[in-house]
Structure 1
Amino acid sequence: MANINELLEELNPAQLKAVQHPPQIPLQILAGPGSGKTKVLTMRIAYLITYCHLPPSSICAVTFTNKAANEMRERLYKLLGKDRTSQIKMGTFHALCAMFLRRYSKTVGLDGNFTVCDADESKKMIAKLLKPYKELLTEKNMTLTENGALGFISKVKAKGWTADDARRYVEEMNALTPQERFVRTMGKFEPWEGEFGLILASVYKDYEKSLREANSVDFDDLLMFGVKLFAKHAKASSWCRHVLVDEFQDTNNMQYDLMVYIARASQCVTIVGDPDQSIYGWRSAEIANLGKMQQDFPATQQIYLEQNYRSTGSILALSLAIVSQDKGRIQKTLRASHAQGPPPVLRIFPIEQVEAAFIAAEIKRLVAFSGVRFNSLSRAIESALQKESIPNRVLAGHKFFERMEIKDVLAYLQLVDNPQYVPAFLRVVNVPSRAVGVKTINEITLRAQQLKISPLKVVERIVDGKIPDTKPPVKKKLASFVHTIRILRRHANGGIAPSKLINALVDSINYKEHLIKTQPDADSRWDNVQELVNFASEVEQNGPEDLVRRMFEADEALHEDVPENRDGEESQDDWEDGMHDFDGDQAEGLRASGDTPLRLFLQASMLSSDTETPEEEKSKEKVTISTCHAAKGLEWPVVMIPAVQSGVFPSTRAEDVDEERRLLYVACTRAKGLLYLTHTTARMMSGEFVPTHMSDFIGSLRDKKETRDLFTETLPSLPQPDRKTIATVTGRSLPDEAEVARRVSEYAKTARHPAWGDNAPFRETTMYTMDEDVVANWTPQSFPSVPLKTSGERNPAGGPGYRQDTVQPVSGPAAFSSSSSLLTTTQRAGVNTLICTTTTDGWSVQLKICCRQVHKQGVWRTAFDAGNQGKANASSSVSEPEHALTATVIGPLNERRAH
């Protein structure tokens, strides 16, 4: 184990003060991004146990993601060892509630074998419940989708409201005048009024009834029933002597109440949060909970962590400037531990396709010029990355536990554990196909409702001959299904390891053969099933401290050796006999507590939505495409944020502009070494290009003299000092200079702009175009085959042409010996941008243009001409050979000759 005293000496003064804060005094640690909050929270837990002598089992540590809980647990292993760490009740609010609800289920009206209904099954349930309202909604010209109904239900559950509470609220609102309603809602729009609100409340009521009939709860129910339990039964939290909550700014009302009730006996609370990173108001998070805690715990003290260990000084300066525009925020700062580094880049493009092409191109350039591997943040970039053959992954994309084959296997196991869970029955009764038609399934479901039993119980009665009016073929089709469920149920109740149950299940129903027959990617899907077996084995191997089972008090009955996967085919009797080697005393102990290995495994599966499989872990070497919300809590050496423009930052649908500003702040502070912000002057909406402008969050900074230097349009050239800074910030070794030179050389041979051919030069230029036949007042427009359009502004250098976003215009146009068309560019470190123009009824001309790179007075310049006739404006050596490229130019031309 690590030496805690030595680790305490490594903390900065504010961190040390937070760790050693007296446990009996409530504490708010306000920690900015990259300030080491996880380290501080982990060290505080170790300090409470080691120096304040609190029993590990008396500490409750709550995180918002399983990933955060796992990271904290791994650190505590090193500080305290596994034995003491395993006794700490650590996990998400949902996992904590699930644990205690299993133990005290009867006290809140639940059965201990309740199933946690996932979002997909909830949506299917709502879809069915909405059907009776379809005619009324159509008659009233109202639209109510599954997502809309679930959104309403989730919002009112976050307030702690039952369906009856929601109906009372709607009725109260309907009784108010418009003026009274405006005051009541503080001017915020709530679509929960009139007949529509009453329909929503009724759907919520039906949904609650359906969940209870299926002996299931959704994720919001875990919190609601958890609050009900801890509020009414003090015994459930009497063990707790200190509560620690991470990401406190993201708590909603229910989660705050949970913290208060769990801490009721001791009144000892430590929270870590950052109001500047409060970005989940749309998900009912309450930033006001920080102030509420100070009222409920009057002795609360605050400690600020303001030393940033993640980002360069320039990234931090821009990030702070963005969030500081919120005049209502708690005034605090961040100090950079690293050097200033390259300034953030701000670039403007005409349309999003060009923006995406730039990001993909810049990624290739950075890899070559920096020698550093990195990830990126963007949404619209995926296709551009694929065109450039850059590996990428979508963060929070199609998750492991949402895959078809995984849901099939889990549904079987859910049905084994909870026979009343109708969604599981409907999913697997005909998987693999047993030729049981929809009509038969509907009849079974109807019979179940009439008899007030579950559909599975009806099927069992059919197979047992207790429902005589059933046709023999139906009974025969269902017999194998019932046999499989009964065998699995018997052994699950006996405590058989889940990994063994899964292997037995897939062999019994020939699931691999089913995949081969029905899925073109059967091999990869079967690999996923084997990965599920590995996941189950991990739960079994590591005992109660692993995944959700780490939440439970140590119990030797949970330490089960992992059985080996079976290779050959076995008969039904073989796999039944092979399951009887589980220790009887262990199984009895689990039955007494109500927690079978299967139930614990299912709980771990349902609450592990944000953990990564080994496949996803490998993908970390790829470019990451993520939403800003999904990126929270993560970091990358390089971050690129597209669409920093009106309608996106802030979103047109946002109710809280300050929260949108904080979202951009969170996105920027994910970057360690390099940060890019881009936007377009037009964006495709409903099939048409709509003009947009730079986000006011950025535009207001660019327009002020004191803040305009926080970013630059110039792409980072990454000289050796900057590469050294980035290496330090990212914690990586400085790339070898020879290796950098080699990558740059290779890059120069293959670099190209996506709009040009494979062999075209790859430079950053600004080009002026003008023709003798072109009138001065034309309106330049973009042409799809080229990356940029002109701004319509005259060439400031006095020569002919129009300007496009140039910082360093040429002092005079290049000379051409025989051409009526003048094309001039300036060189900046980056990519070539050819400017083309068009007007209505124009026609195209093919130009074969050659370019030369020349160096004059410290400035790189590129001269283009038609027909190899161009000459540089000054006598200087040519740095590179000529490159030919073809561009399509459209303009308002008369009988113009082709150059």
Structure 2
Amino acid sequence: MNDTLSAVLKTLNERQYQAVTHNPEIPLQILAGPGSGKTKVLTSRVAYLVQEHKLRPSDICAVTFTNKAASEMRERLNLLIGEEQTKKLRLGTFHALCARFLRQWGKTIGLTDRFTICDADESKKIITNLLKAYDGQLKARRLTLQPGEVLSSISNAKAKGLSSADLFAQAENDIHQIIAELYASYTEALKKMNALDFDDLLVYGVRLYDKEPTLAAWCQHVLVDEFQDTNSMQYRLMLQLAAIHRCVSVVGDPDQSIYGWRAADVGNISAMQKNFTDCKQIMLEHNYRSTGAILGASIAIVSQDTSRIQKALVTDHAQGTKPALLTFAIEQTEANFIAKEIKRLVACSGGMLSWKDFAILLRFNALSRTLEAALQKESIPNRVLAGHKFFERLEIKDILAYLQLIDNPNYVPAFSRAINVPSRSIGEKTIAAVLEAAASREKSPMELLEGIYEGRYPDVKPAVKGKIREFIPLHQQLRTMANEGGAVPDLIRHIITATRYEDHLRKTQPDWDTRWENVQELINYAQQFDQDPEDIVELPSVEGEDGAPETPLRLFLQASMLSTDTESDDDKNKDTNKVVLSTCHAAKGLEWPVVFVPGVEQGIFPFYRNDDVAEERRLLYVACTRAQAFLYVSYCSKRMTAGEIKDRTISDFISKIPADQKKVFDKAAPIVGPKCIEEVAKVLRRDPPDTDIVEKATKEFGSFAPPRENLLDPNANIYKNTIRGPGSHLAFSSSRNTEPATFQPARMAGIASIANPYPTRSSSQPPPPSQSQPQTPHPLMAWASNKPKSASGPKKFRPMPSSSQPPAGATATLSTFQSTSIDSLKAMKNLGATETAGAPDMVALGRGAGTKRLGMGFSAGGYKPPSKRAKQE
């Protein structure tokens, strides 16, 4: 055992050490809670098997669920056992490993090593074309069927090991029968193109070992990460790899099983114990990520599932600040609070917390719109996690299409894309005619075009011979370069030069310069691959059908197609200082000092379209356990859905927390004083800020806070425009010591008013009103015009800026609102105030014509709606 591994073993806690050093001949399940160091344990166990038990790295199979996880494991193992040993490991995702096995032994089940991996976008296009044949049938039966729905059903069937015949036998209605027929047609289409989709990699991998089980004799130990997320085919593959030596170690957490909609089966944990009766189970319950208060609230949520495997979470960190459970009137209020609370925490921490330390975790992406608007309004930089993937961008797919076509001339999606990029005036009808003619001659589309170009085959209609006079010679040159082992960067440079691709982008894309930079980044990626391909993809030690080694191009294409979790430009820049917006699913495995989970309401948590309530509860648990120091959970009493504002209720996952655990949440935003910041610094292993820095930061923060108030004072009111007094109470109690408060609607300029999210403890502060108390109405000053209605309809009038005088002929109208919030919204519109796209803001009411902001998204001018984020293919 080397010194590095020995040093690591000394840092392990008792259970981690047991897991790492467990007898490799006895199957092992490691149930690891969030933040319990499972990656450290898994990599240490691999190193221990190599150094202490003398297993050859090439006899070990370590399976991860993402390329990112595989890269992290590889980096750690480089330090533990050295780069040379690490390279020999069979380490990667299930899909990457199956691609490797099929390149090597695919001929055993009738595959050629030249198969192309078809990505999800191309699969969807194939389904779309196949679905056209059913248009009449669907219309006659008044049915609708979307390509995505078909592809999802096929994917789930493959994940369960079901064929198209199995799906047809299980069909319960016409839609199911059509999907089964499309499944069969889709399979045949892929076969003709010599292509496999992502699910096929697993299907054919299992088929390979079913036919030739001795091919798994090399595997003396298989380790699987995120075992709770395995589906039926992945579990079968694990069993096949372990069939001979029966040496298995898996790491997972049933409390974090959140991918049932992708056919993941948490039941594989119990199934493994049946398949391996001597299986040992070790629980890792020591959390190194979060404060005790955050863990307490998270366990209170997930422990409501009485069927779960009981395990606890403990931590050495301080108890810390209680998670905040906040109620808001509508989503704009919620978004405003989150944006300003982020600013408050940055200021009160003296910059120890920066923008990138904050995450807003959503049940689904559609909830981000209001939040993005609020963040933009406060000038807070933000990014959407797991945005558009690099290899899914238009310009990257254009170049890859040329490369795919060189490697596999039968691959129709690549042909259909490359043939007309840049435009050669070859339309869909012409492409269809080429494909039909190629099929009738049993040729690939490229073989047919080469024959037409050289005069060996007659042209098709509309004619293409004159349009491909540059395309065919280019393709032939590239094919020769690739077959001779040409470097991929050289192939790409040849493509973009010969096609004048930069000019094509300049003419067709408004953001051409950014896209051109992405093309340059693709060359960088190819250059890195050319220098050390094993750093990017597991290389199959295999010869091609003709006995020649695999070409660099084929290996490069495999690497790019399997980079399903390659980060976008923002994501790969780890130094990007921006607040993260993410779905809860995409946040799994990540952590942030501060986490907000908005929209914790019935219909969202649990999501109304997911019947698996237990999985939805686990998803909320996953979201909460991403937080290290501060956690905010919030919900709204009203939320706009499909254009209508509807009443909402708090999620049962929160409301049904047992009575003895109710106090795990606080009903107010946290007090952030010096002691709190010191505790947070310890949790994050950072140096606490100097007092002078904190004072300076809080003064700058005072741009929307009374300059005379100290923000470290728990009684401080950070909102300059906050109104204190009757009728202005926020939706939660002003005292930390009360029972959960009932909602008190704000009688102000609309339902968006936040009064005091940091309730004062001053005894002189008027108490919050109760439902039985009369509400004191707040006046709203607005200018209304006396001008008659125009022919085009009633005139909309904009409240005047503070520096303006009433327009000629205008009268000052004083209006009071004592009705419900929705009525207030209607009343403001009746006044003729102009609605803006900005998130609602707290306003100083009753201050006459000087008022600039009127709340509820109404503004006196100067504020422009946030522009929509540009979408890139």
The TM-score range, normalised by the shorter chain, is 0.7 to 0.9
SS of the equivalent of 1:662 reads helix
Show the 5 A alignment for 1:216-365.
216-365=195-344
1:605 is matched with: 560
Q: What is the CA–CA distance in structure 1 between the aligned matches of 2:185 and 2:723, rounded to whole Å?
A: 63
Gaps of 5+ in 2: 363-367, 707-716, 729-743, 768-774, 780-815, 832-841, 857-873
Offset of 1:781 from its aligned partner?
7.7
Percent identity over the alignment?
A: 48
Deviations 1:429-458 (CA, angstroms, capped at 9, x unpaired)? 010112223332221122122222222221
Distance 1:427 1:543, change over 3 A: closer
Equivalent residue letter for 2:376: Q
Equivalent residue letter for 1:377: I
Q: Is the 8 A contact 1:312 1:672 kept in 2?
A: yes
1:438 is matched with: 428
Deviations 1:54-94 (CA, angstroms, capped at 9, x unpaired)? 00100000000000000000000011111000000000000
Q: What is the CA–CA distance in structure 1 between the aligned matches of 2:50 and 2:164, rounded to whole Å?
A: 43
Deviations 1:176-220 (CA, angstroms, capped at 9, x unpaired)? xxxxxxxxxxxxxxxxx1222211110111110111111111111
1:30 is matched with: 31
Offset of 1:285 from its aligned partner?
0.7
Distance 1:726 1:437, change over 3 A: same
Show the 5 A alignment for 1:586-735.
592=547, 594-612=549-567, 615-618=570-573, 620-701=576-657, 704-735=658-689
Are 1:838 and 2:819 counterparts?
yes
Equivalent residue letter for 1:548: V
Q: Is the 8 A contact 2:404 2:411 kept in 1?
A: yes
Q: What is the CA–CA distance in structure 2 between the aligned matches of 1:40 and 1:696, rounded to whole Å?
A: 35
Offset of 1:676 from its aligned partner?
0.6
Task: Using structure 1 for the length normalisation, give the TM-score.
Answer: 0.80
Q: What is the CA–CA distance in structure 2 between the aligned matches of 1:146 and 1:130, rounded to whole Å?
A: 7
2:103 is matched with: 102
Q: Is the 8 A contact 1:640 1:677 kept in 2?
A: yes
Q: What is the CA–CA distance in structure 2 between the aligned matches of 1:508 and 1:690, rounded to whole Å?
A: 58
1:547 is matched with: 536
Q: Is the 8 A contact 1:493 1:591 kept in 2?
A: no
SS of the equivalent of 2:383 reads strand
Q: Is the 8 A contact 2:669 2:758 kept in 1?
A: no
Equivalent residue letter for 2:443: I
Distance 1:154 1:469, change over 3 A: closer
Equivalent residue letter for 1:243: V
1:428 is matched with: 418
Q: Is the 8 A contact 1:115 1:418 kept in 2?
A: yes
Q: Is the 8 A contact 2:101 2:540 kept in 1?
A: no
Show the 5 A alignment for 1:102-121.
102-121=103-122
Q: What is the CA–CA distance in structure 2 between the aligned matches of 1:437 and 1:347, rounded to whole Å?
A: 56
1:742 is matched with: 696
Offset of 1:263 from its aligned partner?
1.0
Q: 1:513 aligns with which of 503, 521, 537?
A: 503
Q: Is the 8 A contact 1:789 1:836 kept in 2?
A: no
Distance 1:472 1:689, change over 3 A: closer
Deviations 1:546-583 (CA, angstroms, capped at 9, x unpaired)? 1223x545x9xxxxxxxxxxxxxxxxxxxxxxxxxxxx
Q: Is the 8 A contact 1:780 1:789 kept in 2?
A: no
Mean Cα deviation higher: 603-612 or 374-383:
374-383
Offset of 1:769 from its aligned partner?
3.7
Offset of 1:611 from its aligned partner?
2.5
Distance 1:259 1:79, change over 3 A: same
SS of the equivalent of 2:692 reads helix
Q: What is the CA–CA distance in structure 1 between the aligned matches of 2:373 and 2:72, rounded to whole Å?
A: 33
Equivalent residue letter for 1:483: P
2:796 is matched with: none
1:126 is matched with: 127
Offset of 1:288 from its aligned partner?
0.7
Q: 1:762 aligns with which of 716, 720, 740?
A: 720
Q: What is the CA–CA distance in structure 2 between the aligned matches of 1:409 and 1:403, rounded to whole Å?
A: 10
Are 1:416 and 2:406 counterparts?
yes
Offset of 1:885 from its aligned partner?
5.2
Mean Cα deviation higher: 731-740 or 360-369:
731-740
Task: Using structure 2 for the length normalisation, give the TM-score.
Answer: 0.82
SS of the equivalent of 2:593 reads strand
Offset of 1:328 from its aligned partner?
0.4
Offset of 1:474 from its aligned partner?
2.7
SS of the equivalent of 2:283 reads strand
SS of the equivalent of 2:336 reads helix
Equivalent residue letter for 1:672: Q
SS of the equivalent of 1:335 reads coil
SS of the equivalent of 1:30 reads strand
2:54 is matched with: 53
1:876 is matched with: none
SS of the equivalent of 1:616 reads helix
Distance 1:765 1:297, change over 3 A: farther
Distance 1:275 1:220, change over 3 A: same
Q: What is the CA–CA distance in structure 2 between the aligned matches of 1:87 and 1:843, rounded to whole Å?
A: 72
Offset of 1:884 from its aligned partner?
7.8
Q: What is the CA–CA distance in structure 1 between the aligned matches of 2:170 and 2:484, rounded to whole Å?
A: 48
Distance 1:590 1:469, change over 3 A: closer
Distance 1:760 1:73, change over 3 A: closer
Offset of 1:633 from its aligned partner?
0.7
Offset of 1:731 from its aligned partner?
2.7
Q: What is the CA–CA distance in structure 1 between the aligned matches of 2:81 and 2:818, rounded to whole Å?
A: 68
Distance 1:864 1:163, change over 3 A: closer
2:731 is matched with: none
Q: What is the CA–CA distance in structure 2 between the aligned matches of 1:709 and 1:472, rounded to whole Å?
A: 74
Offset of 1:763 from its aligned partner?
6.7
Q: Is the 8 A contact 1:786 1:836 kept in 2?
A: no
Q: Could you say what the CA RMSD is over the residues aligned between the two structures, in angstroms?
A: 3.1
Q: What is the CA–CA distance in structure 2 between the aligned matches of 1:464 and 1:59, rounded to whole Å?
A: 52
Q: What is the CA–CA distance in structure 2 between the aligned matches of 1:631 and 1:651, rounded to whole Å?
A: 17
Distance 1:762 1:589, change over 3 A: same
Deviations 1:251-270 (CA, angstroms, capped at 9, x unpaired)? 00000000000111210000
Equivalent residue letter for 1:231: D
Q: What is the CA–CA distance in structure 1 between the aligned matches of 2:81 and 2:445, rounded to whole Å?
A: 49
Q: Is the 8 A contact 1:635 1:670 kept in 2?
A: yes
In the comparison of the two structures, how many residue pairs are matched?
A: 762
1:140 is matched with: 141
Equivalent residue letter for 2:550: D
Q: What is the CA–CA distance in structure 2 between the aligned matches of 1:25 and 1:273, rounded to whole Å?
A: 17
SS of the equivalent of 1:548 reads coil
Offset of 1:784 from its aligned partner?
7.0
Offset of 1:593 from its aligned partner?
5.7
Offset of 1:350 from its aligned partner?
1.3
Q: What is the CA–CA distance in structure 1 between the aligned matches of 2:469 and 2:175, rounded to whole Å?
A: 46
Offset of 1:134 from its aligned partner?
1.1
Deviations 1:660-719 (CA, angstroms, capped at 9, x unpaired)? 100000000011111111111111112111111000111123xx5422221112222321
Distance 1:888 1:399, change over 3 A: closer
Mean Cα deviation higher: 590-599 or 382-391:
590-599
Distance 1:482 1:812, change over 3 A: closer
Offset of 1:469 from its aligned partner?
4.3
Q: Is the 8 A contact 1:783 1:838 kept in 2?
A: no
Q: 2:372 aligns with which of 360, 382, 391?
A: 382
Distance 1:613 1:106, change over 3 A: same
Equivalent residue letter for 2:518: N
Q: What is the CA–CA distance in structure 1 between the aligned matches of 2:165 and 2:425, rounded to whole Å?
A: 42
2:733 is matched with: none
Gaps of 5+ in 1: 171-192, 556-587, 753-758, 771-778, 791-802, 815-819, 825-834, 847-861, 869-882, 891-899
